[in-house]
Amino acid sequence: MLIQVDKAISEEAAHKKWLEGLYWELRSGIELEKFNYLKKRKQELGAANQGKAAQVEGLGQLVAEYDPRQWFRWRQEDEHFWDDNTNVEKFKKDNPEVVVTKW
């Protein structure tokens, strides 16, 4: 015995399956981007930041140097992320490669 499925229901199921595939493709793209960033930038940024704090002159003190992609991604997540000092301190703790240190 064959069960006939309404064409609209079948199309809706196909659309949901397509959306789920798109969602996971986008998620995996973000995860791949994070992996590639960490692989490439941690060593470069960490090495480049060593000794910069001793060279800073002026009104402020250089304490961290962020990759623009990081900065904008977190700004996209929360518009006021960088305005909150607790967020910035937690970010520096979780990503020690951005901290600028003296020799």
What is the per-residue pLDDT across 17-70, written as a single tens digit (0 to 9) for each?
A: 888 888 877 777 777 777 777 777 766 766 666 666 555 566 666 778 888 888
Cβ neighbours for 58, distance < 8 A, ≥ 6 positions apart:
none
Give the per-residue pLDDT at 39: 75
Question: What are all long-range contacts of 53-61, with beta carbons under 8 Å and residues at least 24 apart?
Answer: 53/100, 53/101, 53/102, 54/102, 54/103
pLDDT, tens digit, 9 for 90 and up, residues 68-82? 888 888 898 889 999
Give the per-residue pLDDT at 31: 72
Total H helices, total E strands in the chain: 3, 0
